[in-house]
Structure 1
Amino acid sequence: MDFNISPDDRVGGGPSRGKAAPGRPKKPKKGERLEPQLAMSPYADEDEKPRRKPKRTRKERRRRGFSLGGIFITLVHWGFVASIWGGVVVAGIVVYYAAQMPGAESWAVPERPANIRIVSADGQLISNRGQMGGEAVSYRELPHYVPAAVLSIEDKRFMSHFGVDPIGIVAAALDNLNEGRVARGGSTITQQLAKNLFLTPDQTLGRKVQEALLALWLEQNYSKEQILELYLNRVYFGAGAYGIEAAAQRYFGKSARNLALGEAAILAGVLQAPSRLAPTSNPEGAAARARVVLNEMAAEGYISREEAQAAAIDPDRRIRTRVAGAEYYVADWVESLMTAYLGEVKEDVIVSTTIDWDLQKHAEFVVREMVAKEGSNRGFTQGALVAMEVDGTVRALVGGTDYAQSQFNRAVTSRRQPGSAFKPFVYLAAMEKGYTPDTIAEDAPFTYEGWSPENASRRYVGPVTLRDGLAYSMNTIAGRLAIDVTPQVVIDTAQRLGISTPMLAVPSIALGTSEVSLLELTAAYAPFANGGNGVIANVITRIQAADDGEILYEASQAGPGQVISSEVVGEMNDMMVTALEVGTGKGASLNGWPIAGKTGTSQNARDAVFVGYSARMVTGVWLGNDDNSATTLSGGNVPVDIWSQFMTKAHEGMTVAELPGSYTRMAEMPQDIYQQPVQQQPVRETRTIVDLIGDLFGGR
C-alpha cells in the first residue's frame, strides 16, 4: 500500500492553515503521503525560543554571597584550612625544638641539692642551710589544706589535665585581654615544675615548647601526688626559701608539717610573686593575697566559708613571722665549717651542735637590750658575745645585734683590736721567763726606738708589782715586759694558746694593737680556766646522714694538750682575779663564784672588750661600731655588765668551784693603787734596753 505523506504531515509539522503549532504534527491532506521524521524541539522556530537568563553581575553575586549561610560555610571552610596549616606549623615547631633536646630516654629528675639541718644540743632546730634552705617533706606529711591551698590558686584542674591545660591557657588569654596586660599565665603546676627542674627562666617560644614536652613526660612517668610533692619541695617562696619546709621555717619558725590553715594560704599566695608578696617584706600584700586563696579554697570545696573567714588575716593585724635571731650567726659559722669536715655535702645531713638553746637566746637578749639601752649614750651600735665551757665547747655565740639587717659575724669573722685584753699573753710570757706577780716594775713613761707608751689615765705611780700592773692595765708595764721577753715570744705564746691571726712582732703588740677575732681571743683564755690545757673552739659534735642516720663525723676529745704549767696558771689567775677585785674589771660579779679576767679598750675607744671566766665557763664580749668610729665605752663598763648578766644565767644550778692553781702572795695589795701618791706626767727620756730592764727588775 502506498502512503503519500506531505512535509506538513511529518512529525512536528504544523496545522493545515498557516504554520503548524509548535510541537504538533501537521495534518496530512487527503491522498498525501506522510513521511516519518524525528521529533523536533518545540522551539525549532528561533522566534519562539525563550531567551536565556542574563548573567548576574559581580556586585549581584557578591550581595548574594553575604547571606548568613554563606558566611558560615565560608568560615567553616577557611577555618578548616587554617587549622590544617596551623597544625602543620605547630607540629613543625614542636619537632624543631624537640630535636634540640636530649632523647627522652635520658631525661631524669635531678637530685635535690643537699640540705644541712643544724640543731642545738637538745635537738632544737637552729637553721636549715644549703642551696634550698630547707629539707624535703613528703606529700603525706603535710596537712591536707597545704597542697589544697596551692592547687586552688595555682592549678585548679591539676588532677584532671595531662600536664598542659588548654582550658587554662584560653582562660588566661581572655583574662589578659580584658586586663590589657599579662595578668596571669596559663602554665600548669607540672609545667612550672618542668621549668624549675630542667630549664632556664627565659620567656621564649622554644623554652615554652620544651616546657610543655617535659610536662607531658612528667605526667607519663610520675603520679599526680609525686609531681605535687616535687613541686612543693622545690618551688621558690621568696626570702631565699626554696620548698615548703624552708618557707615555713623562714616565715613562721615551724615545720611545714605544723602549718595552720591561714599560714598555708599565705605561702600559697606568695607563689604568684615571691619577691613582692613575701610576708617579711610586704605583710599587708601577703595577707590580702591569702584571703583570695582562702576564698578560692572554699569555692573549690576544700574548706567551708566559715573556715575561710576564721583563717583570714585581719587587715589591721600584721602577720607574725619568725625573726632571724642570733642563732643564724651560729648557722653561718657551722655551714662554713662543713667543707672542712665532710668536703662537698652531697646528701641531706643533720648537724648536732654544742649550742645551749636557752643560753643562746639569753645571750642574744642581753646583748640587744644593752646596745639598745646604752648605745645612743655611748656612741656604739654593735655587740658580740662568745661563751664556751673551759674545754672549748661553745654554748652561745652572738655575731651582732640584728641578723636581718647585717649577716656579718662580729664574733667569728671580724678582726678587731683587743686592747689590754691581750696583755695576759704578755704577762704569761714574763711568768714563763721567771717573773712572778710580786715582781716590782716601774710605772713611768719611757721611749724605746721611737715608741712611747702611755697609760690611759696619763698617771704614773712608780714602782708597782706586776699584779698591780695587770690589774690596773698599766701600759708602761706591759710595754717594758714585751720589750724584755721580745715581741716574737709574746706572739709565740699567744699562738700556743690559740690565737691564729697573723701578728706583727713589734713592741706595741703589748697593748693589743694586733687585730684578732673574739672567738679566738675567748678560746685563748680557756687554759687559764681549765688548768693549762689548750683548747680548740668546737661547735659541732656530730654529723649524720638524714635518711639512715649514718654517722659521718663525730668530735673527738683531742686537743693541743698542756700549754701552760700548773704553777704559771696559778700565777696568772692570781693576777687576773685581782683585776676583777679592785682593777679595771671590778664591776664583774657572779654570785660568789671565783672569777678572773681582763678588760680591753682600743685607741679612741673604738673597741671595748672584756673576757672573763670561772672554773666552768669562759665568755668574751665586744662592743663597738662597724665603721670603726670612736665611742665613749671602756672594757670595764658595758661589756662587764653584759658579761655579768649572761654568766649569772649560765651558772644557775651549778656548784661553785675554785679556779685552778694557787699562788701565795708575798704581801697584800692596797685596795686602790691610785689612792697612793701619783706622779703627774714626768719628763720622758730615751733609754736603752739595758736601762729599761735594770729599772724594771733591779729589785727582783
Structure 2
Amino acid sequence: MRGKRRAAAERSDTANAGSGTGAGGSGPEKPRSRFRLWLKRLFVWGGALAVLGLVFLGFAVAFAASSLPDYQTLQATQPGQTIVVRARDGRELVEIGPSFGDWLEYSEIPENMTNAMIAVEDKRFRSHIGVDPVRLTGALIEGITGSRARLGGTSTITQQLARNLFLNNNRSLDRKAREAVLALALEWKFSKEEILELYLNKVYFGGGAYGIDSASRKFFSHPATELNVGEAAIIAGLVKAPSQYSPTADVQAAVDRARVVLGLMREQGYINADQANVDVSAVQLKEQAGQNSVRYFTDWVLPQLDIILPETYEPIEVWTTLDVGMQRAATAAIESNTPKGAQGALVSLDRDGAILAMVGGTDYVASNYNRATASLRQPGSAWKLFVYLSALEAGYKPEDKVVDTPVTIDGWTPRNSNGRNVGETDLRTAFAYSINTVAAQLGNEVGFGTVASMARRFGVNSKIDTNPSMVLGASEMRVIEMTQAFAGISAKGTPVEPYGITKVTGASGEVLFRREGQRQSPAVPDYVVAGITDLLQAAVQTGTGRAADIGRPVAGKTGTTSSNKDGWFIGFSSGITTGVWMGRDDAKAVPGLQGGRAPAQAFASYMRYAVKSRPVEEFDVTLELPEWQLEPDQEALFGEPDDYYYIDEQGNMVEPGRRDPDGEPFDIEGERGPNAPPAASQDFLEEATGGTLPQNQRPQREPRRPPPQPGLKPSDQ
C-alpha cells in the first residue's frame, strides 16, 4: 500500500514538472491556457449568436418583403394630410396639404437629378443592400450618445423611403431597427431603379411639395424633366431641411446648400469642374404669389395640433381666433409705418387672450421668420410696467412724490434720455415721461427679484436677469409675452394665456378638440390695477405715448433701447391689447426709431380699426386702498358721541345716549341743568384733549396731520 502511494506521488510530480507548475516550470502557463479557453468559447458562442441573429434577420426581412404592398400600390399612396384653417367667422384662411406633380418614370428623370440626390444623400446607394455599414454604425452611435456630430446623416435613400412610406420620425433605436428591416425588404423586392423612382416621386421638398416634379414647378415654374444641373442641385439640397434651405424662405441658404451638392457631385465623378462651377445664384426662381401675413399666424398655430390632437391622418378643419379684417389692418399698419431697412411685428389679443391679429414681419414671402413669437429683443422702458406694478403693490400711489436725481446702484449709473433731471416730481409724471432714474430707484427699493417675480406672474417666461439694469428692460423678451402681460392689466389684473385655436373638426364634422375657458386668479390686488392703469393712461395722454391716441381711452407704454435698436409700444383700449415692435434683425441702430413714434403710430393705425365696432370703455382708476395703506383716522381714537362719552362745552362728560333731541346733556339724575356734577377730573380731560383746558371753552382737538408721503429719500417726506 505504501509503495502504491509512493508511485502515485512520483507520477504526480512528473505531471507537475511537465506542466510547468513545479519549481523549475513556467508560472503563467495555466492562466494563459484559461484565457485561450475563454476566448475560444467566446468566439464559438459569438459566432453561434451571430448566425442565429442573421437567421432571425433573414426571416424578418423575408416576412417584411412578403408583406410589402406591390409597386403599383406604393405608387398610388399619397402621404400628407389636408388641413383647412378657418378664421373666427368661419371664412377659409388657407388650405395646407400635399401638392403632387406628374409621376415620372425612372427613364424620364434627368440624370443630373438622380446623380445629385445620390451624391448628397447616399453615395453608396448603388452598392449597398439597403443599409450602409458606415451609416448603420452612425445610427448606433446616435442612439447611444444622442449626438449626430460624428457621422452626420445615418439613413440611406432606401431607409428614408421606408420611413416615409411606413414609419414616423421618432428618433429611437426601435424605429431605426424597423427602418433597417424594411429597407432590406425593399431592396429584396424591388430594383434600385424602382426604389429611386419611388423616392424621387415621394420625398418631401417643403412648401407642401412632394416629389421632384411638384418641387420643380413650385420653385422654377417648369416640369422636372427640364431640370438643369443647378436646379437639380437646389432641389437635392432641400431634403436635409426643407424649411431651412427653401429658396422661397432664404435664397442665400438655398444657393449655399446647392454649391455643397455640386461639390459632392464633382468629388464622386458625376460632373466635371466646369459644371461644378455653375452660377447657382443665377437660377431663375418662380415668383411666389398668394402668400401673406396670415401665414405667420398659421405657422405658429398649426404645430400645436401635435399636442392637442391624437395622431390622425384624416382631413381636418381648424377653427381659429384670427379676425380677417383686423389682420389686414395690422398688416397695413406694419407695412406703412416700419422704417426703411427695419422689420416690424404686431400681436393683438382680445380680453381673454384670443389672438385677433399677428404679423411677424413686413413681408412673409421675403422672410417667414416670425418676429412676433420667436424673436428675443430688449423691451426698453416698456419693461417699467413691472417696476411700477411692484412699487404700487409695495404702497406707492400715483400722486406720491419722487425725486429725479442722478443715482448709482452697484456701480451702474442710469441716465435719462434727455440727459437732464427735473428734481421732485410725482410717480405719475415719472412714468408718463419714462424717467429712468426714478425707475432705477424704485426697482432698487422694492428689489430686482421682486420685479422679476412680478413679470413671471403675468406670463413672462423668458430669462430675466436681476442686475440693476433690468429695470430699464435689459433682458430680452418676445413680443407675444410682453403683450400678454399688458393684456393681464386690461383684464383687471388677471393673467391671460394667448391662444389661437378654438376647435378642430374631422372629415365628418365631429369635434376632435374644443378649447375650454381657463380660470385664473388675479395676480395683483384691484388697487394696484387701478394705479398702474392710471399711470399707463397718463403715458398716452401727456407722456411719451401721445402718438397712440385714437380718440378714446388708451393705456399703454413706449419702449426704446439704446442707440435706437428697438422701438416698442404696447397698450390696450376697449378690451383689445396690442403690442408693436420695430427694429432690424441684425440689431443695428435704426435712425430716428423711438417707441413713441413709428411703433405708437402703427398701434394707433391698427387700433382705430380694431375697436371701431366696440363701445368706448372708460378706465377705472379709482384707488380703493386696503386698510394698511389708508391715512390713519384720528376720529377713531375718540369714537362717535353716541358710541362713547360726550363732553359738553363746560368739560362735563356724559354717558352714551344721555342727550336730549336738541343735543343738550342730561345730568346723572336725568335732569338738565348747569349744576350737573363734572363727569371727570380736570387732569383726565386735559390728557384726553391733548392740552390745558381754558376756562369756559370747549376742548379743541389737535388738527389732523397728513401722514408722511412715501418717497425715495428721507428728505422727501
Q: Is TM > 0.5 for Structure 1 vs Structure 2?
A: yes
Q: Name the residue aligned to 2:209.
A: 241
1:568 aligns with 2:536: no
1:386 aligns with 2:377: no
SS in 1 for 2:225: coil
From 328, 352, 360, the equivalent of 2:327 is 360
Contact 1:584 1:599 in 2 (8 A): yes
Q: Name the residue aligned to 1:523.
A: 484
From 432, 438, 456, the equivalent of 1:495 is 456
SS in 2 for 1:386: strand
Q: Name the residue aligned to 2:223.
A: 270
1:410 positional shift: 0.7
From 450, 453, 466, the equivalent of 2:414 is 453
Aligned CA distance change for structure 1 residues 133 and 582 (closer, same or farther; 3 Å)? farther
Report Cα offsets for 1:410-434 as digits up to 9, x if no partner: 1101111100001011101111111
Letter in 2 for 1:610: F
Structure 2's unaligned 5+ residue stretches are 1-60, 116-160, 167-181, 236-246, 249-284, 626-709
Q: Name the residue aligned to 1:466.
A: 427
From 553, 557, 565, the equivalent of 2:517 is 557
Measure, in 1, the Cα distance between the counterparts of 2:216 and 2:209: 9
Q: Name the residue aligned to 1:649.
A: 609
Q: What pairs with 1:207-222 in structure 2 (closer than 5 Å)?
A: 207-208=192-193
1:476 aligns with 2:437: yes
Q: Name the residue aligned to 1:534.
A: 495
Higher mean alpha-carbon deviation, 520-529 vs 561-570, is at 561-570
Measure, in 2, the Cα distance between the counterparts of 1:638 and 1:209: 58
Contact 1:615 1:659 in 2 (8 A): no
1:419 aligns with 2:380: yes
Report Cα offsets for 1:523-570 as digits up to 9, x if no partner: 10012222222100111111222x223322211211432123222211
Q: Name the residue aligned to 2:590.
A: 631
From 61, 65, 68, the equivalent of 1:102 is 65
Measure, in 1, the Cα distance between the counterparts of 2:427 and 2:292: 43
Q: What pairs with 1:142-291 in structure 2 (closer than 5 Å)?
A: 206-208=191-193, 239-242=207-210, 269-272=222-225
Measure, in 2, the Cα distance between the counterparts of 1:345 and 1:542: 15
Letter in 2 for 1:270: P
> What TM-score, normalized by structure 1, do the two folds share?
0.57
1:621 aligns with 2:580: yes
SS in 1 for 2:548: coil
1:492 positional shift: 0.9
1:210 positional shift: 6.3
Measure, in 1, the Cα distance between the counterparts of 2:577 and 2:714: 33
Report Cα offsets for 1:210-230 as digits up to 9, x if no partner: 689x99xxxxxxxxxxxxxxx
Measure, in 2, the Cα distance between the counterparts of 1:248 and 1:335: 26
Report Cα offsets for 1:211-268 as digits up to 9, x if no partner: 89x99xxxxxxxxxxxxxxx9xx69798542399x999989xxxxxxxxxxxxxx98x
Aligned CA distance change for structure 1 residues 105 and 419 (closer, same or farther; 3 Å)? closer
SS in 1 for 2:210: coil
Aligned residue pair count: 451
Aligned CA distance change for structure 1 residues 211 and 617 (closer, same or farther; 3 Å)? closer
Q: Name the residue aligned to 1:301.
A: none
SS in 2 for 1:459: coil
Measure, in 2, the Cα distance between the counterparts of 1:333 and 1:238: 17
SS in 2 for 1:642: helix
Contact 1:439 1:697 in 2 (8 A): no
SS in 1 for 2:356: strand
Measure, in 2, the Cα distance between the counterparts of 1:207 and 1:398: 47
Measure, in 1, the Cα distance between the counterparts of 2:397 and 2:319: 43
Letter in 1 for 2:210: Y
Structure 1's unaligned 5+ residue stretches are 1-97, 137-149, 156-163, 183-193, 216-230, 252-265, 282-317, 666-692
Report Cα offsets for 1:270-292 as digits up to 9, x if no partner: 353586899x98xxxxxxxxxxx
Q: Name the residue aligned to 1:326.
A: 293
1:125 aligns with 2:86: no
Report Cα offsets for 1:615-655 as digits up to 9, x if no partner: 32111110101111112311000101101100011122222
Aligned CA distance change for structure 1 residues 439 and 661 (closer, same or farther; 3 Å)? closer
Measure, in 1, the Cα distance between the counterparts of 2:364 and 2:571: 25
Report Cα offsets for 1:146-174 as digits up to 9, x if no partner: xxxx88xx79xxxxxxxx9xxx97xx89x
From 402, 405, 409, the equivalent of 1:441 is 402
1:594 aligns with 2:553: yes
Report Cα offsets for 1:31-52 as digits up to 9, x if no partner: xxxxxxxxxxxxxxxxxxxxxx
Contact 2:216 2:223 in 1 (8 A): no
1:583 positional shift: 0.5
Measure, in 2, the Cα distance between the counterparts of 1:494 and 1:249: 49
SS in 2 for 1:562: coil
Q: Name the residue aligned to 1:584.
A: 544
Letter in 2 for 1:425: F
Contact 1:527 1:564 in 2 (8 A): no
Contact 1:577 1:597 in 2 (8 A): yes
Measure, in 1, the Cα distance between the counterparts of 2:712 and 2:62: 90
Contact 1:566 1:661 in 2 (8 A): no
1:658 positional shift: 1.4
Letter in 1 for 2:296: Y
SS in 1 for 2:191: helix
1:399 positional shift: 0.7
Letter in 2 for 1:103: S
Aligned CA distance change for structure 1 residues 587 and 250 (closer, same or farther; 3 Å)? farther
Which protein shows a greater Rg? 1
Measure, in 1, the Cα distance between the counterparts of 2:711 and 2:389: 20
Report Cα offsets for 1:457-499 as digits up to 9, x if no partner: 1110001101011000001110011011101111111111111
Measure, in 1, the Cα distance between the counterparts of 2:66 and 2:599: 65
Contact 1:615 1:660 in 2 (8 A): no
Q: Name the residue aligned to 1:17.
A: none
1:362 positional shift: 2.0
Measure, in 2, the Cα distance between the counterparts of 1:101 and 1:342: 30
Aligned CA distance change for structure 1 residues 457 and 343 (closer, same or farther; 3 Å)? farther
1:336 positional shift: 3.1
Letter in 1 for 2:427: L
1:409 aligns with 2:370: yes
1:346 positional shift: 4.5
Aligned CA distance change for structure 1 residues 133 and 637 (closer, same or farther; 3 Å)? farther
Letter in 1 for 2:561: S
1:366 positional shift: 1.9
Contact 2:337 2:599 in 1 (8 A): no
Between the aligned residues of both structures, percent identity stands at 32
Measure, in 1, the Cα distance between the counterparts of 2:603 and 2:524: 25
Aligned CA distance change for structure 1 residues 532 and 102 (closer, same or farther; 3 Å)? same
Contact 2:533 2:555 in 1 (8 A): yes
Q: Name the residue aligned to 1:607.
A: 566
1:486 aligns with 2:454: no
Aligned CA distance change for structure 1 residues 364 and 603 (closer, same or farther; 3 Å)? same
Measure, in 2, the Cα distance between the counterparts of 1:515 and 1:101: 53
